[in-house]
Chain A
């Protein structure tokens, strides 16, 4: 800002040397596969046409969406569940994280530090290992969760074997994994609010609830938005929680390609690796690109986050 006009307009070309390693690897490893995925989605590259594949236009997309063939991969129900999962799960995670952050941030709680440390623990365990552990804990016959519920007189819950409960399990386990992260982000935001604002509000005779709505929440929201946007987008692609917990199951009767908890990301993975349907898998990925892209744009419009990364 203090720089004069002449220095401001001068471009330091060496900057491109500094950013080129990151930029080049991103191009080759992220953007190139993406472009190739889009290309494959317009071909018939699968096990049958592994060496000689042809351009087939929109055929793959028609297969996914048209009612006569849609049940082949259960695409529409998978799409709906992906959207529901991403929104419900992320919102629940954020709200629980915010709620706990407000509680452990209470000034009248002398041992708050201890609670904070204990609540962070689920975040510290590598996610992949804890998801697999949950798969064991939630086992209908042998799992300790059902053994515990039995003490309270609750019969065995088919956590992973029933479509409804498998979906509940996915959301609950994701909450267990994610609330410490959101709590930490919200806590950082809470602590950045100056106490003068609260003091002034107390003098004006506001209630605690009013202070939360008009001071705490807007401030926390402003700081946590840059975390929340990627979180929503990442949820659409949260392959681990689905594949490692339920494997996408329980299976549907009408198709083996996608189970009841499969999201687009895990369905695309199974189609490519287990069934060698690169064409359909790529088409699903492209639809996923679109959803995540549109969502991010909408989000940014509304929140103005990243507006000036300067």
Chain B
């Protein structure tokens, strides 16, 4: 930053301004669609949409209508499933990552790599088997079945968490070990508290990720009362587009703004974790 304040070299001014121009164009193209969604949410329904970003007859009708659809119910369903699944995953991720980071066992060297490879086949790829079995057992359309399907451990999260655990100095473990602490105490009293930022990141990013899950939700859940946010919004927009676009836009904003803010706070920490894990090894 401080280097930037010095006088530009001859060719540099031209370069900087061309970079700026390109970036401005990209930013406008990237953000205009979002602005349009905001516009639509304040525009009366049943009108043809104009390219203007300012709504011509601003109204809050769409926001009122959102509450009359099943929106709140869908948000609640999604939140419930997301919190339960993420909490369960956090426990499994941190214990497994601890083992891969600190303990010696057969399969340590290639175990994580094998799991990462196998998880390139997520269970959503086995959709026929899952649907057929659930239909046969007669347990479709239940939220707990949906949550159960998502609860499997994530090798990617383990890898991410292991990368973070590896940065915690081993000297701490060793001195605790000398003081008579066992593995579990080292894990519980030393590694976990120091990894708190990463635990929070993995937990909340898993929650956010759950809101975008569609394929298993679409497979398991059938009645509107059990819809997740995604399923509900999908039926809203793929029903009658012209009538629902404004309501849909309003609902999207109400759902997306809190999630996006949470994401914006967590993302830089995540990015650091990603590169920390990637440059190791």
Binding site for B on A (CB under 8 A): 7-8, 10-16, 18-19, 21-23, 25-26, 28-31, 33-34, 36-37, 40, 45, 50, 100, 103-104, 106-110, 115, 117-130, 132-137, 139, 141-145, 147-148, 150-151, 176, 184-185, 187-189, 192, 223-224, 226-227, 230, 233-234, 237, 239-240, 243-244, 247, 265, 268-269, 271-273, 278-279, 281-282, 285, 288-289, 292-293, 296, 306-310
Query: Do the beta carbons of A33 and B126 come within 8 Å of each other?
Result: yes
| A122 pairs with B275, CB closer than 8 A | no
B267 and A15 form a contact (CB under 8 A): no
Residues of A close to B229: CB separation below 8 A: 128-129
A22 touching B96 by the CB < 8 A rule?
A: yes
Nearest 4 Cβ contacts at the A-B interface: A22-B153, A33-B126, A29-B152, A188-B275
- Contact present for B119 and A26 (CB under 8 Å): yes
Contact for B234 among A25, A107, A121, A132, CB less than 8 A? A132
Q: Do A129 and B267 touch across chains, with their CB atoms under 8 A apart? A: no
Q: How far is the CA of A16 from the CA of B260 in the complex (A)?
A: 37
A interface: dominant SS: helix
Is B54 at the interface (CB under 8 A from chain A)? no
* Minimum Cβ distance to chain B for residue A88 (Å): 19
Residue of A nearest to B43 (CB): A144
One digit per residue, 1 when the CB lies within 8 angstroms of any chain A CB and 0 when it does not, for chain B 234-261 equals 1001100110010011001001100111
Chain B positions 206-236 with a Cβ under 8 Å from a chain A Cβ: 208, 211-215, 218-219, 229-230, 233-234
* Residue contact A147 to B259, C-beta cutoff 8 Å: no
Quick check: A25 and B153 within 8 Å, CB to CB?
Answer: yes
Pairs across A and B, CB under 8 Å, 15 listed: A7-B104, A22-B92, A22-B158, A25-B153, A26-B152, A34-B129, A119-B23, A128-B212, A137-B33, A188-B275, A269-B215, A282-B129, A285-B125, A309-B109, A309-B159
Say whether B49 contacts A230, CB under 8 Å: no
Given contacts A188-B274, A230-B156, contact A144 B51 (CB under 8 A): yes
On whether the beta carbons of B104 and A281 are closer than 8 Å, the reply is no
Size category of the B interface is 35 or more
**Chain B residue at minimal CB-CB distance from A225:** B278
Quick one: closest B residue to A283, CB to CB?
Answer: B128
The answer to whether B51 touches A110 (Cβ under 8 A) is no
Contact A34 B271 (CB under 8 A): no
Q: Is the CB of A128 within 8 A of B183?
A: no
Q: Which residue of A lies closest to B255 (CB)?
A: A129
Give chain B nearest CB distance to A172 CB in angstroms: 10
Closest to B3 in A: A107
B172 is an interface residue with CB less than 8 A from chain A: no
**Contact digits for B126-154, partner A, Cβ 8 Å, 1 yes 0 no:** 11111111001000000000001101110
> Do B256 and A125 touch across chains, with their CB atoms under 8 A apart?
yes
A117 to B265, CA, bound (A): 11
**Whole-angstrom distance between the alpha carbons of A187 and B267 in the complex?**
13
A50 and B30 alpha carbons, distance in the complex (Å): 48
Does chain A have a CB within 8 A of B40?
yes
B123 within 8 A of A: yes
A37: chain B residues at CB < 8 Å are: 125-126, 128-129
Flag if B128 contacts A271 (CB, 8 Å).
Answer: yes
- Nearest CB on B from A146, distance (A): 9
* B16 located at the interface, meaning its Cβ lies under 8 Å from any Cβ of chain A in the complex: yes
B60 within 8 A of partner (CB): no
Q: How far is the CA of A293 from the CA of B125 in the complex (A)?
A: 13
A33–B8 contact, CB under 8 A? no
Which of B63-71, B110-118, B192-200 forms contacts with chain A? Answer: B110-118
Do the beta carbons of B238 and A110 come within 8 Å of each other? no
- Measured CB to CB, the nearest residue on chain A to B33 is A137
B residues in contact with A150, CB < 8 Å = 51
> Which chain A positions have C-beta within 8 A of B233?
128-129, 132
In contact, B121 and A292 (Cβ under 8 angstroms): yes
- Chain A nearest CB from B237 CB (Å) reads 5
Q: Are B48 and A142 within 8 A (Cβ)?
A: yes
Contact between B127 and A272, CB atoms less than 8 A apart: yes
Which of chain B's residues has its CB closest to A133's CB? B37
Determine whether B202 belongs to the interface, using a CB cutoff of 8 Å to chain A: no
B214 near A136 (CB under 8 angstroms)? Answer: no
Q: How far is the CB of B104 from the nearest CB of chain A, in Å?
A: 5
Given contacts A21-B153, A124-B263, A144-B36, 10 further A-B contacts (CB under 8 A): A15-B103, A31-B118, A104-B23, A108-B15, A117-B264, A129-B256, A133-B34, A137-B33, A142-B49, A265-B124
CB pair A34–B125 under 8 Å, yes or no, is yes
What are the residues of chain A within 8 A of B187 when measuring CB–CB? Answer: 18
Neighbour of B104 across the interface among A12, A109, A134, A293, CB < 8 A = A12
- A132 with B248: in contact, given A15-B105, A110-B1, A110-B4 (CB under 8 Å)? yes
Is the Cβ of B279 less than 8 Å from the Cβ of A240?
no
Q: Which residues of A contact B241 (CB under 8 A)?
A: 136, 139, 142
In the assembled complex, which residues on chain B have CB atoms less than 8 Å from the CB atom of A285?
Answer: 125-128
Report B6 CB to chain A, min CB distance, Å: 9
Establish whether residues B51 and A151, one from each chain, have CB atoms under 8 Å apart when the complex forms. yes
What's the least CB distance linking B210 to chain A, in Å?
10
Tell me if A120 and B267 are in contact (CB < 8 A).
yes
